[in-house]
Structures are given as C-alpha cells and as structure tokens.
C-alpha cells in the first residue's frame, strides 16, 4: 500500500484497502467554520441524537467573517457559538481565533497519521503533517459529529517528485502553482497527491502547508508529505497527543508519477480565472494592479510575512495600490509584532488586519470593484472570487505580491 492507503486502512479496521473501495473511516478530528457549521448543526439536530460522539475531537472556528461584518454573519457565528458551548466542543472565537488551517496545526490539534475531515475544501492543508485530511459537505460533517465515522471511496494516489535545489524566492506556493499549471484543475481529480523529492526535503513546514492546502485546486482528495525531521520538530513543539508515522511500502503502486527539476524555476503567477493559468513571473507581461493581499490559510504564516517584510523594508507601497497584510493567527500576529514585521508593513504603507479569511472569498477587508486587479497570496482566482465578477485576481507567493505592491504592477522580487 501507499501512504494514503496505509492511513485509511488503519482507520477502518482493515489490513489492506485499494483504490475504488468504499470504506467507513474513524475520524480523529472534525472541523467546521462560521459558514459551514450552521448547516452541519441544523442537520445534526435533525438526526435527533443528544450528544456528539466526542467533544474533544470536534473543532469549530470563527474565521471567515469575524469580527462579524454584518447582522447575517453575526447570526451565523451565534448559531455556532451556542452549539459549541452547549456540547462542550473545542471552539475558537475573536481573541483566540485564527484562520482555521493555520490555527489547528499551531494548536497541536492535528498530528501525523490522523484522519481529519472538515467542512471546508482546504482541510487538505494538514497533509503537510503526514495526515490524511480532506474536505466534505456539511451534512457529512453532521453525521460524523454524531458517530465519529465517515464513509469515503479510497482514492488512487499520484506521486509528484521535485528534483533540484529551491531557487531564491521560490517556495511552496510556486511549486504548487507550477504543478497545477502542468496537470490542470482536474489533473488529480479525487486522488491523493503525494509530494516528495530533494526540493521537498528543503521546503520548510510553512511551504508544505501551502502546497497541501492547494491540492484541492488540482481536484485532489488529499495532499500528503512524508514525515521527516522537520515534521517531527514541528510536532514536538505543538502536539497535544501521541502520533503515528506511516510510510508507503517499497512496492507501493501509484496511478501516475510526475517528476520535475525545479532548480531553475522562477516564481510563478496564476492569471485569471483559474489556478492552472500559471506562468513564470517574467512571462506575465505588464499587468497594472490596484491591490495586493498577503495572507490567508495558504500564505499567512510567519515565514510568509518575513518574506514580504524582507522586500518591503525601507520601501513604499505604490501610491495607487492598496496593500493588505493578514496574519494567519493571533500567535503569528504577535510573533510578527515582536520581530518588527508589522512596523515594516505599516511604514511601507500597508494595512495589517486581525486574522480572518476576509477578502480571500470575497467576504470583506478588501473587496474588489469592477475593473480592478489584485495580486494575492490566496488560493483561488475564480470569477468574482474577491468581489466584482468584472475584477481580476492573480495568484502568487508573498515575494511576488510584495514586490508588485511596490512597483504597482506584477513584478519579480529580483527587480526590487
């Protein structure tokens, strides 16, 4: 068996599972947020059970529209808050919260070998820790909160091997944008994406979280990284419970294997309106921007903010550009403040937000008007994703986003 199959077999009481097989899987952690939890709560109550299967394995995070932006979002959050208090589940709200996929690893709630399901498509982020993590619908989450189990079809696995040394300014965001550009937004449809190779060994945990996060943008069911010393160091610092490391068998089978030498790769940019429209930054052309967003569950971690600050230090955001920086969690915000990163952003002319998903899904804190263009470290650039359907979103890593904010157009960090 390969990596994903090993984890799933261990969680369904079978010695072996194979792609295409339907299984009932025991969940180690169940996640929802202020958009998806209210639907799951409604369905949970329809089931008629009186308690959740295990309150210590259910997490709800207020992150998409908090602090509440309007009456509707306030009502959504209240439904979730009341349910969390009534059933005693793990809950994060204003003051303790962060963007869910940055917050849960930081809090040590996910460990290697877990099966994690969440009512959010980017739940696959936790594959960076060697867990099988996937997004599901709110009704599935309701059933899981009641029983602790979820059914799924065992996915096939596609292996991605990245050879070479990571060039300057190239990180996890660039690797995953390049990958999606090569295989398309359905290139890994309902497949587990297994990331490996010398370049991956060099990649810090933050970069691995970024890549796993965007497995869904290739249609993936999950994105997984092998557990190495970097993973174990992270787990040692954060974990709150024991973990188990799984490794694929030497004769494990894969549906496909892709191999690339990335030693000469440039930072990548995905043009509207699909993540697969990826190009090297030098090939993008003269694209004037109105806004730059640095943050989200994809690139709102401390190393991302450090990269942006390295470029913005002593510089000024272009007078016609709005630059919005959103740390992923309260702890990341605090660490960035202690390191002086927030001062760099503010002196450069950027605005720093409390942790929130905000503009990523067109929620608030940076909505685009018709005709406006934004360079963003978020994970999707669909039509209308960040506001007007007549606006455009260009995806990139924090280095390109920061450089572009200074120049007023999409720019390589090498030019700053």
3-state SS assignment for residue 110 = coil
Dump pLDDT digits (tens) for 77-108: 999 999 999 999 999 999 888 999 999 999 99
**Superfamily per CATH, domain 3-259:** Aconitase, domain 3 (3.30.499.10)
Closest-CA residue to 227 (of 217, 219, 235): 235
For the chain, the structural domain boundaries read: 3-259, 268-411
| pLDDT recorded at residue 309 | 98
| pLDDT recorded at residue 56 | 96
DSSP for 238-268, please give it: H-SS--------TT---SEEEEEE-TTPPPE
Model-level pTM?
0.94
| pLDDT recorded at residue 240 | 85
Is-same-fold flag (3-259; 268-411)?
yes
| pLDDT recorded at residue 97 | 83
Residue 143 to residue 52: CA distance in whole angstroms: 10
Q: Which residues contact 257 (CB under 8 A, 6 or more apart)?
A: 158, 159, 160, 161
Residue 259 to residue 198: CA distance in whole angstroms: 11
| pLDDT recorded at residue 99 | 94
3-state SS assignment for residue 328 = coil
Dump pLDDT digits (tens) for 229-283: 999 999 999 998 899 999 999 999 999 999 999 999 999 999 999 999 999 999 9
Question: Count of CB atoms within 10 A of residue 290's CB?
Answer: 18
Between CA 283 and CA 294, with CA 289 as vertex, the angle to 5 degrees is 90
Mean pLDDT computed over every residue of the chain: 95
Dump pLDDT digits (tens) for 37-87: 999 999 999 999 999 999 999 999 999 999 999 999 999 999 999 999 999
Residue 105 to residue 128: CA distance in whole angstroms: 10
Beta bridge partners of 326: 295
For domain 268-411, the CATH class is: alpha beta
């Amino acid at each position: 068996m390969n990596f994903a199959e090993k984890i799933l077999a261990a969680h369904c009481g079978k010695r072996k599972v194979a792609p295409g097989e339907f299984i009932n899987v025991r969940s180690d952690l169940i996640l929802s947020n202020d958009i998806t939890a209210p639907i799951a709560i409604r369905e949970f109550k329809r089931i008629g059970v009186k308690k959740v299967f295990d309150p210590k394995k259910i997490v709800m995070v207020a992150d998409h529209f908090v602090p509440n932006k309007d009456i509707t979002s306030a009502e959504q959050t209240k439904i979730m808050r009341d349910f969390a208090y009534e059933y005693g589940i793990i809950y994060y709200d204003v003051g303790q919260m962060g963007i869910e996929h940055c917050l849960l690893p930081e809090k040590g709630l996910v460990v290697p070998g877990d099966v994690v399901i969440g009512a959010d498509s980017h739940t696959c982020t936790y594959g960076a820790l060697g867990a099988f993590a996937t997004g599901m619908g709110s009704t599935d989450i309701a059933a899981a909160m009641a029983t602790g189990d979820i059914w799924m079809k065992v996915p096939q696995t596609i292996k991605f091997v990245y050879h070479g040394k990571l060039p300057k300014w190239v990180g996890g965001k660039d690797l995953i944008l390049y990958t999606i550009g090569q295989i398309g937004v359905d290139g890994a449809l309902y497949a587990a994406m297994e990331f490996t190779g010398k370049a991956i060994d060099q990649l810090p945990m933050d970069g691995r979280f970024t890549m796993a996060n965007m497995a869904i943008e290739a249609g993936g069911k999950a994105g997984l990284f092998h557990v190495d010393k970097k993973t174990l160091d992270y787990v040692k610092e954060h974990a709150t419970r024991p973990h188990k490391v799984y490794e694929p068998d030497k004769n494990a089978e894969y549906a496909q294997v892709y191999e690339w030498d990335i030693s000469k790769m440039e930072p990548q940019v995905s043009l509207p309106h699909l993540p697969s429209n990826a190009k090297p930054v030098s090939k993008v052309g003269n694209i004037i921007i109105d806004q730059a967003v640095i943050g989200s569950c994809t690139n709102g971690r401390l190393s991302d903010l450090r990269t942006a600050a390295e470029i913005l230090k002593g510089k000024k955001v272009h007078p016609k550009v709005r630059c919005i920086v959103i740390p992923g969690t309260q702890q990341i915000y605090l660490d960035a403040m202690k390191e002086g990163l927030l001062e760099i952003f503010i002196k450069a002319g950027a605005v720093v937000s409390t942790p929130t998903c905000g503009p990523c899904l067109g929620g608030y804190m940076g909505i685009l008007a018709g005709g406006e263009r934004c360079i963003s470290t978020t994970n999707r650039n669909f039509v209308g994703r960040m506001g007007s359907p007549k606006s455009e979103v260009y995806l990139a890593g924090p280095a390109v986003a920061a450089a572009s904010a200074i120049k007023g157009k999409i720019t390589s960090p090498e030019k700053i």
